A and B are shown apart, each in its own frame.
Chain A
Amino acid sequence: QVQLQESVPGLVKPSQTLSLTCTVSGGSISSGNYFCNWIRQPAGKGLEWIGRIYTSGSTSYNPSLRSRVTISVDTSKNQFSLKLSSVTAADTAVYYCARETNENPIDYWGQGTLVTVSS
């Protein structure tokens, strides 16, 4: 069974770039046909979709974040990556990576990683 695990960046300073990776285990990215979605959740609040990337590299982003977001894939490391630039305190949240397939909507999620933006 595919499992996803986000990296732990911890604290990011305002105006800097947040960088996260999602490591996939239980199968090779290059042999799968699915999307990796990035979703975030501020403490005590709801879920916000950030964007997604297909295993081929095709991307889609939330228009509200598009100017600051880059999602990429590294098949050699079996990882997906998220970069969010020019962060502010409003970007403080738990960030999740989650899989979506042609058969299923977003089905399996990583455990999530808390990113705090603070000086």
Chain B
Amino acid sequence: EIVLTQSPDFQSVTPKEKVTITCRASQSIGSSLHWYQQKPDQSPKLFIKYASQSFSGVPSRFSGSGSGTDFTLTINSLEAEDAATYYCHQSRSLPYTFGQGTKLEIK
């Protein structure tokens, strides 16, 4: 099973700040890494697919990078609506796995 480890677990940030969340895989997964945003009492929403491709309708301030074992989700010029928990997910091999989540709080 591929283990995904996100850092940090929690981050408190101010609006307009740049945010970086990382996800490290226990073995190489190529570009099969995806990012989801989940707000309280909502289902997760796909934001970035295959490491760097933005999903339909996602604001341009969100971007992803990386390959192999190290991946990054970047939010440029954070907005209040970006407060949420972000999860990475690998689809390289079964069983599918998710990172433990990074909770983003807006100051």
CA A46 to CA B89, docked complex, whole Å: 11
**Interface pair A49/B46, CB less than 8 Å apart:** no
Interface size class of B (residues with CB under 8 A): 20 to 34
**Interface pair B43/A60, CB less than 8 Å apart:** no
**Interface pair B34/A46, CB less than 8 Å apart:** no
Across the interface, which residues of B come within 8 angstroms of A109, CB to CB? Answer: 43-45
**Interface pair A106/B87, CB less than 8 Å apart:** no
CA A96 to CA B42, docked complex, whole Å: 11
CA A63 to CA B89, docked complex, whole Å: 18
Name B97's contact: one of A49, A96, A105 (CB within 8 Å): A49
Identify the A interface with B (CB < 8 A).
Answer: 37, 46-49, 52, 60-64, 96, 98, 100, 104-112
Identify the B interface with A (CB < 8 A).
Answer: 1, 32, 34, 42-46, 49-50, 55, 87, 89, 91, 94-101
